[in-house]
Structure 1
């Protein structure tokens, strides 16, 4: 008890020291940082970052922006987009972007967040030829090089006899990461680009590996060609309805925003990330005829798979690593063809859509039979169909989707959202995903990573009880009717979340966040041979103080605590105290410093802490054990078009002699990573 009391006193003192100098500037990059900390997966964050970067460089004209453009804008919900359009239709032409502050049901923070993505221009659109778009568009080249300074086991020296016996102990490539990206954009009308990337340990520009880089990707997006509203060629992402049969666009975090749980069919978007899975490769188009839109697509893409001795696919390999002979052998050893269509009808505030999808693998997919995957899809081909709807009654919106699997199983998700004012919103969602429902490309609002074996009811709210106080909270009650991986019987769970924010001033903010999660999992008592299922609780609490100075400096002090307990076992605890300081005052130089101390009993009580990374990338490591973390990053604009970014991050552990395991093991207590990034716009 004294141990924890000492740390609490230390934290209070630390907050007091930093109070001279909370909220970070209310910009979209800070907003994405918060989403990353709330558990949104890295692929979604990277996709959002790429899309928002493009939109910031090509802002939308408020005097011409359409509902469809706003609905694919990640920072506003569908309901907010509708309110913005209603306001614009009554008040155009606008003369300043700050008139957005007059939009009903749009709070001040949201307006501040989205202002950089708009401008006020002429009401009539200038029609340009392709040659004029190419002349007025923006080119961008990005080059990235990362390296871990300590040697990992996979890069060590091994004798020929050892490698002959254990060939996968050594990586076949160099110990650095590198990527090159080229992109061209003209507003949202024309986008094109390519990506080349290699991970650490993958061979680079070697004769025996003639491809040079390990991974390549390309995309072309053209919009507004008459009835052809969007054409996508190359790598792209799609989302139909609420995601019950198809969504490789943005995934949803429960705490992303209780007023953003409703989705709708999205037009094809580019895939400009270096992620090697989770997208389509082929072509997609969106046609518009009156109130009807039709979106057909086709994809033919190779992927990595784990194969059995008879050549069947037992599981998918999605990490993208090709460093050892075994990993290289799995590279692109299977392919999938996917075809589908969405037909959507919209009339004012009412929308209804129908979607269908069919895919076929090059080999039979047959995972090893376990009780938890007994009803999983097995075979070469599979199909899904669904119907989705939404209707907005001014302040009340209802939406949902019902989907059919090829084996006849039916899944559904239905939601309602009530927003009487910009100060209060209430959302509810019910989902029913049977264990026999299979949809290989689904990604919907759920607790698990798959849309199956889950029933749940979610209730969330955003409100401002006082002028300077805002509160976000939700409760999610979940039932898993069938055994899961590491849970040998039907189980249940509950998620609770609370985020309270007190705005001290325009430049200062205090946040308190609490998360409670109760689930069940397999457990074995000490000195016992049998296994049972026991409930466990995870609690996380965060206290954060942010402050921004007019000189360009901003400071963030964070205290994190984590508590994990499985019934009949001792509590496992962890805490982390961290300080961030950033400078944004100069036109040429931006810098960030991050320092943290962590002390966690076990991996179960690990802590996550987001830290600034080089441009276009997100980095949120986890920490357990005892140690310190220091990271320094900066960006220097050599010219108005050329910039260089670098970061060095160093972690030191006090209670271990090795870091990592297997081929990634580092002998020692320290790990230092170096990141560099060049950006050239012209």
Structure 2
């Protein structure tokens, strides 16, 4: 007990010393940090990070933005989009983005969050010609180079006799990461881009690998061509309904789902991320005639897979690494074709959609049979269809989707959102995903990683009981009717979350966050036996945000984690960190981060909330005992040309090596260098 009291008092003391400061504004990056903590895969997070970065760099004109564009903006809900659209219809032209504070049912926190994504421009503009759009558009080139300064085992020297027996002990490429991006944009009318990327350990311009980058991507998106609202060619992402049959687009976290739980069908969006999975490659279009919208699409893409001796796909390889002979051998060894369509009807209050998706692999998909995956798809093709809806009635919004697989299995999810004012929002969601339901491109609101083998009920509330106090809380109850990986029987659990914020004044605020999740897992207890026993993870955070009028901002954070398994000792961890940032000038920006962590096991790992380079999402976690230091800076030579650099250093006090296998570092320190050019 003394252990925890001491560190809580220490954090509060540090906060008190900075009580004169000003709070940081809301930052959408905290949304992605929450997703990372909830265990969402890196590909989804990187795609979302790239989209929000693009939207922030190309803000929407409040005097021209449509209701449809507002509904597709991922950081506001169905009701908020409607109120913003109604406000703009009555008050255009607006002269400043701060007029959004006058929108009814839009709380101050949400307004602060979305301000960077809008601007107040001209209300009436002539339609430019294609030649004018090409002349007035914005060209941008981004270049990134990252390197770990310590040597790792996979880059060592090995005798030929060793490599003949163990060829995968050595990486075939250089020990750095590099990528190059080119983009041309004219507002949201034209988007064109090229991407090239090489991960650490992948060959780059070597004799046997002359193609340069390991991964390439290309996209072209054109909007507003008469009845053809959108045309996408190349790499793109798409979402239908609530995601029961198709969604490789934006994903909702449980904590943010308290007021943004309802999804909408999204037209094709560019895939400008370096992620090598989680997107389509082909063409998609959006046709609109009156209240009817039709979205057909086609994709033909090669992908990595783990194969059996018979050449069948046993699992998908989605990490994008091609460093060793075994990884290189799996590169693009399979192909998938996907096609489908969504037909949508909508008026002011009602939206109805019908969707179908068919996909086929070039090989048979046949994962190794285990009890938990007994009902998984085993075929070379599959088909899904669904019906989705949403309806707005005064302060209520309803939405849902029901989908069917080729074998007749039916999955369904339904939700309701009640927003009587900008100070209160209530969301509820029910989901039923049977074990026999398979949809290979589905991604919906759930506890598990797949839309399968889960029943659940979610209830979330956002409210402001006092002028300076706001709170967000949810509880999610879920059950898995069939055994799961490492869980040999049906299981259940719950997830509870609370975030309270107290604004001492407009210049400072204090946050308290508590989260507990309980699930079940196979456990060797007593010895030489196996039982399915409950375990829970609790996380507590105290944070103080403040900023000075001269451009400096500060954030003091104490994170604690507890992991408890029945019949086993309690595991615990904590991290105390301090962040300082400078945003005082147009040319120079900088950030400093320092943290001390102590964690018993990986189950009580802590995350580092440090500022990253533009367009880069990186959120490392730590367990054991040590310190984390990071410093980053950006210098703008001109309004278009800038250079950013970051260095992060971790030192452990409880080990002599870091990592394992080919990533093992001999020593207790790791230093990473990140550089980024933009012009």
Q: Which band: TM-score by shorter chain?
A: over 0.9
Q: Which residue of 1 aligns with 2:422?
A: 422
1:244 alignment counterpart = 244
Question: Is the alpha carbon distance of 1:105 and 1:407 closer, same or farther for their aligned partners in structure 2, counting shifts above 3 Å?
Answer: same
Contact 1:39/1:253, CA 8 A, preserved across alignment:
no
How many positions carry a matched residue from both structures? 679
- Which position in structure 2 is the counterpart of 1:111? 111
Shift of 1:89: 1.8
2:581 equivalent to 1:579: no
Deviations 1:464-508 (A, max 9, x none): 000000000000000100000000000001000000000111121
Moved beyond 6 Å, runs of 4+: none
* Mapping of residues 254-653 of structure 1, within 5 Å: 254-525=254-525, 528-653=527-652
Compute the displacement of 1:6 (Å): 3.2
Q: Distance in 1 between matches of 2:154 and 2:38?
A: 33
CA distance in 1: counterparts of 2:223 and 2:507, whole angstroms? 40
1:311 and 1:62 map into 2 onto residues whose CA distance is: 54
- Three-state SS of the structure 2 residue aligned to 1:591 is strand
Quote the Cα distance in structure 1 between the aligned partners of 2:34 and 2:381.
40
Deviations 1:631-667 (A, max 9, x none): 0011011222111100110000000111001000001
Matched, 1:179 2:199: no
| 2:90 equivalent in structure 1 | 90
Structure 2 runs not aligned, ≥5 long: none
Q: Is the 8 A contact 2:48 2:249 kept in 1?
A: no
**C-alpha distance after superposition, 1:164-198 (max 9, x if no partner):** 00000000000000000001111000000011000
Counterpart of 1:60?
60
CA contact under 8 A between 1:167 and 1:324: conserved in structure 2? yes
Which range is displaced more, 3-12 or 606-615? Answer: 3-12
C-alpha separation in 1, matches of 2:574 and 2:498: 19
Instruction: Please give the alpha-carbon distance, in whole angstroms, between the structure 2 residues aligned to 1:32 and 1:18.
Output: 27
Q: Which runs of 5+ in 1 are unaligned?
A: none
CA drift of 1:29 comes to: 4.7
The Cα shift of 1:315 comes to 0.2
Is contact 2:33–2:619 with CA below 8 Å preserved after alignment? no
Question: What SS does structure 1 have at the residue aligned with 2:8?
Answer: helix
Alignment partners' CA distance in 2, 1:434 and 1:531: 26
Distance 2:650 2:116 in 1: 36
| Structure 1 residues 650 and 585, CA gap change in structure 2 (3 angstroms) | same
Superposed CA RMSD in Å reads: 1.4
Report if the CA contact (8 A) 2:31-2:256 is conserved: no
Task: Verify the 8 A CA contact 1:657 1:667 in the aligned structure 2.
Answer: yes
SS for the counterpart of 2:483 is coil
Matched with 1:120 is 120
Question: Structure 1: how far apart are the matches of 2:416 and 2:46?
Answer: 29
- The residue number in structure 1 matching 2:160 is 160
Q: TM-score, normalised by structure 1?
A: 0.97
| Cα deviation digits, residues 20-65 of structure 1 (max 9, x gap) | 5463223445665565556555434433333333333333222221
Instruction: List per-residue Cα deviations over 1:191-229 (Å, max 9, x = no partner).
Output: 000110000000001120122110000100000000000
Counterparts of 2:20 and 2:505, CA distance in 1? 14
Q: Which moved more, 1:611-620 or 1:291-300?
A: 611-620
The 5-angstrom pairing of residues 27-66 of structure 1 reads 27-29=27-29, 32-33=32-33, 36=36, 41-66=41-66
**TM superposition shift of 1:406:** 1.0
> Structure 1 CA distance, aligned partners of 2:507 and 2:72?
30
Shift of 1:73: 1.5
- Compared with structure 1, are the counterparts of its residues 567 and 453 closer, same or farther at alpha carbon in structure 2 (3 Å cutoff)? same
TM-score by length of 2: 0.98
C-alpha separation in 2, matches of 1:256 and 1:41 = 17
SS state of the match for residue 258, structure 2?
coil
Q: Deviations over 1:505-536 (max 9, x none)?
A: 1121100000000000000026x212110000
Report the CA distance between 1:69 and its aligned residue: 1.0
SS at match of 2:82: helix
CA distance in 2, matches of 1:119, 1:4: 46
Contact 1:141 / 1:182 at 8 angstroms: preserved in 2?
Answer: yes
- Seen in structure 2, the aligned counterparts of structure 1 residues 41 and 543 have a Cα distance that, compared at 3 Å, is farther
Give the conservation status (yes or no) of the 8 Å contact 1:55–1:188: no
- Give the match for residue 13 of structure 1: 13
Counterpart CA distance in 2 for 1:464 and 1:44 is: 31
Q: Does structure 2 conserve the Cα–Cα contact (< 8 Å) formed by 1:498 and 1:515?
A: yes
Mean Cα displacement is larger for which, 66-75 or 398-407? 66-75
Counterpart residue number, 2:675: 676
